[in-house]
Chain A
Amino acid sequence: MSEEEGNSGQVVKGSEEAIFLVENLLRKKLSELPVKIYRAAGDSIVVEVPRRYLRDAANAVHNDLDAYVRTCAGCDEREIRGIYAVYHILGLDNYGVNVIIKVAVPENDAKVPTIADIAPGADWCELEFRDLVGIDLTGRPTHRLVLPDDWPDGLHPLRRDVPYGVRPPPVKREEVSLIEIERPGIPVGPYHPALHEPEYFELYVEGETVIDVRYRGFHVHRGIEKLAESKLTYKQIPFIAERICGICGFCHSTCYVMAVEKAAGIEVPERADYIRAIVLEIERIHSHLLWLGVACHILGYDAGFMHTWRIREKIMALAEYLTGSRKTYGINIIGGVRKDINKEKVPKVLEVLDFVEKETKNLADVLLSVPEVKRRLTGTGKLYREEARKLSVVGPVARASGLYRDVRKDYPYLAYKHVSFKVPLYTEGDNLARTLVRVEELFESISIIRQLLDTMPGGDIRVEEYEIESGRVSVASVEAPRGEDVHFLITGEGRPYRWRVRAPTYQNIPALRAMLRDQQLADAPITIASIDPCFSCTDRLVIVEVSGGKVRRVRRINVVKVAGGKVW
């Protein structure tokens, strides 16, 4: 394992100096284009570019400045400015700065050129704003991604004039049959023992070797963004944000409150930053242990499964001790937290951490020495560095493929700047590397919590008074257990004007195609699980036919309607 710090050793990531540097770089790179460059809230720079130059600007930022796609969002700004707008959020993790490329789209010609060929990571989010905001794309094949198939054309739920809760009568469509492949397709999902959430994979096999993969998802899109933009208030949203995910919900609520605090310029007390960071790390420990258990189960090693969950139980109890809930802690509010971690609680926390550290170490030693487990993790589900970069993968998936990418280091937030920790990095890109990244992160998280408890400052845990000006744009990100959560926010009156959530699995699922191809069928479940997918956060739909490593044809097929759906 090695650690690299990126090539911006001279500047502190996310600092004023770094932002200044990036701003100058942008001015230089984009000098030929008629762009407007200005600072947004926090560590973000907005580049306003006319529609016809979008591709040039995206190319310059993504490819020349080595940025990666964090997400993109469409926004209906007709009420304010009579236009639609598209925001492409690109991250320069060497500087810790976000570049928001903003394009105005006239109402009567709602189309933007695609950048998915320049930056493949933008593939899904482009289709998503096409579905939800109704901004069409030029220069790429399109299909419905998020909306169910019986949803009428031309009704785009995230437009401001579409009321919340609209339920149009279902539209009957002719079923488009699946492209015929003369090989057995192994259905994995929407409900399947290897997937604990409703998703659908169809694996095409030759003998036992997977030669093609289809993926269908987004069965349980819940319209949380619309709910927040039309019904809830700023103060209510942290609680709904926490319910985006049943495992890493606190990451989402933290990400949301950070986005609002950034946009409104709220100075959060340092003690609250510490408490949030501690709870985030507790969440990471429970999530990684959960994953480790599931991975063991998938490999048929149930003893490992049971024992990781036995250890995890202590962490769940600890979360309850500190926040009042085992999960969905509900302690985040704008301006701070609701619950303090006082001195009396510290010894108990340390005791649990010691227990978890010791037990996890023993367990990891044992389970990584079980011959079948080791053998089946090694060399399976490979994702090479170049491919990983191209697809803008995040979290442990990126770090196992040799990409040094961790929001805690790249876009320093909360109290992480006050602690020292290593970012585990592996270059093999196989299932074992992803497992080892997570195992090492467990110990790093334990060490982070100890350091935070040791140096936690006194003082208030929240600010009560603040004003949130409307029309401010901000981007916040949190390193969730699966990778980075990104929340993009435009403030409005009493509630966000636009709130876009991007969960890490959204970026990582497209990488599965590369990981599954030419693998043994038996290794498909562990490979799918190795990205630690959280479908509830992500949920959407795509069918892609792949031939010789190239996307040959993209088709839309009828969605199997599945009700409900809960996280594992």
Chain B
Amino acid sequence: MLYISLQVIYVVLAVLIAPVLDSLERKIKAKIHSRIGPPILQTWYDLRKLFNKELVLSRAALPLVLIVLTMLGLCVLTLLAIPAGIPFAFFSGLDIPFLVVLIASIQGLIIAASVVSDNVYAVIGGFREFAIGIVNEVALITAVILIFVSTGLTSFAMLPEAAIRPSYIPVLVLLLTSAYVASGRIPFDIGEAEPELASGILIELSGPALGTALYSILMKRFVCASLSALALVLPLVRLLNPLASFAVFTALTTVMWIIHGIIAVLLGRSRVDIAAKALVLTYSILIISSTALVGVGL
């Protein structure tokens, strides 16, 4: 019962806190920029403003809104499937495969969103998302699977091994990198690169539709931060009591979000060819080394 409550608290927290974390990210970004920055609830204010506007749906916007809503649902499901630092499986039995499928679906939806519009900015933005998405999906899913293999987990209801194996380190790096890329921040936000594509696939949306899309992006970012936090907290789960472990996990999720935000401030936007090449190279090295290490049982 405690586990279920903690898991539900975590999801409710996520739904409420994601926009706050976004404001916090903007605030920290502003500090680095030598600006004052917005108040801590600014993103909520922005969303409220968007939801108060009239709903206008262009021809291309309707399928996009459906996709965005599905993504939102998938994100919530994913958050239920990610154990909140506790040995608990919400979808017992098939929890790990289910998580993998959910993550794959979220990435797949982003790709789908890119091809429903006939707006030229959106099409080009979509193909960029597609290029990065395909490369990153492979890495992210491999990383998630390897995490479980190298910690000896077959279900989240189990306690992971306490001792960290050497293979866990490349796996962790792979996961942290691909989770960052999946969060769609600079330098990998090329799909909505503002200067040339005027927000890419988002260009067709306005008002509540845009609000939903932005909110779903925030939820996706929360999922990415949670996955990173999960990978960091797994080796500790056995050592801590459930409440402490939950607290550490939640705190780590926040920290990961902030780290993601800071990395984004320090970098410039990449280009689709450069980004895809760089990612393929990095991921190949990481996937091969980590799979090899996990395979030989290190």
Contacts and interface: CB of A to CB of B under 8 A. Distances in A.
Contact of A522 (B123, B186, B267, B272): B272
Contacts of B2: none
A300 B193 contact: yes
Contact of A310 (B34, B187, B273): B34
Interface stretch (A5-13, A180-188, A406-414, A470-478): A180-188
A192 B29 CA distance: 25
A370 B266 CA distance: 8
Contact of A372 (B32, B196, B270, B272): B270
B137 to A, nearest CB: 21
Nearest to A195: B195
B219 to A, nearest CB: 23
A296 B268 contact: yes
Given A307-B34, A521-B124, A301 B196 contact: no
Contacts of B196: 186, 188, 194, 521-522, 524-525
A526 B121 CA distance: 17
A303 B198 contact: no
A193 interface: yes
Contacts of B59: none
B34 A184 contact: no
Contact of A184 (B35, B120, B189, B274): B120
B174 interface: no
A298 B124 contact: no
Nearest to A529: B195
A520 B198 CA distance: 16
A184 B268 contact: no
A564 interface: no
Interface string B10-25: 0000000000000000
A376 B269 CA distance: 9
Contacts, number: 86
B115 to A, nearest CB: 14
A523 B29 CA distance: 25
Most interface-central of B34, B195, B274 (chain A CB within 10 A): B195
Nearest to B32: A303
Nearest to A203: B196
B194 interface: yes
Given A522-B193, A524-B196, A372 B124 contact: no
A419 B266 CA distance: 39
A303 B264 CA distance: 10
Most interface-central of A185, A296, A306, A523 (chain B CB within 10 A): A306
A78 B127 CA distance: 60
Interface residues of A, number: 35
Contacts of B121: 186
Contacts of B269: 299-301, 372, 376
Interface in B209-245: none
B190 interface: yes
A29 interface: no
Contacts of B33: 302-303, 306-307
B186 A184 contact: no
Contacts of A525: 195-196
Contacts of A303: 32-33, 265-266
Contacts of B35: 306
Interface string A300-320: 111110110010000000000
Nearest to A184: B120
A298 B265 CA distance: 14
Size range of the chain B interface in the assembly: 20 to 34
Interface string A274-308: 00000000000000000000001111111110110
A193 B274 contact: no
Given A184-B120, A184-B123, A205-B124, A301 B272 contact: no
Interface in A367-401: 370-373, 375-376
Contact of A373 (B34, B193, B268): B268
A297 B195 CA distance: 8
B272 A376 contact: no
Interface in A185-201: 185-188, 192-194
A193 B194 contact: yes
A290 to B, nearest CB: 16
A302 to B, nearest CB: 7
B266 A522 contact: no
Contacts of B120: 184-187
A188 B35 CA distance: 30
B169 to A, nearest CB: 24
B268 A208 contact: no
A76 B29 CA distance: 58
Nearest to A299: B268
A521 B121 CA distance: 11
A352 to B, nearest CB: 17
Interface in A88-124: none
Nearest to A306: B33
Given A184-B123, A186-B124, A370 B267 contact: yes
Contacts of A188: 196
Interface in B272-290: 272-274
Given A193-B198, A306-B33, A521-B196, A370 B123 contact: no
A192 B195 CA distance: 8
Contact of B271 (A193, A298, A310, A520): A520
Contacts of A300: 186-187, 189, 193-195, 267-269
Interface in A502-535: 520-526
A194 B196 CA distance: 6
Contact of B273 (A184, A208, A306): A208
Interface string B109-123: 000000000001101
Contacts of A301: 267-269
Interface in B150-193: 186-187, 189-190, 193
A402 B30 CA distance: 39
A298 to B, nearest CB: 5
B267 A376 contact: no
Interface in B16-74: 29, 32-35
A521 to B, nearest CB: 6
A525 B190 CA distance: 13
Contacts of A304: 268
A568 to B, nearest CB: 13
B272 A298 contact: no
A522 B187 contact: no
Contacts of A524: 196
Nearest to B271: A522
Contacts of B198: 192-193
Nearest to A524: B196
B195 A370 contact: no
7 contacts: A185-B120, A299-B268, A302-B33, A303-B32, A303-B33, A521-B196, A523-B271
Given A300-B267, A307-B34, 19 more contacts: A184-B120, A184-B123, A185-B120, A187-B120, A194-B196, A301-B268, A307-B33, A370-B268, A372-B270, A373-B268, A375-B270, A375-B274, A376-B271, A376-B274, A520-B273, A521-B196, A522-B193, A522-B196, A525-B196
Interface of A: 184-188, 192-194, 205, 208, 296-304, 306-307, 310, 370-373, 375-376, 520-526
Kindly list the 7 A-B residue pairs having the minimum CB-CB distance in the complex, ordered from nearest. Answer: A300-B269, A372-B268, A301-B268, A306-B33, A525-B195, A194-B195, A522-B271
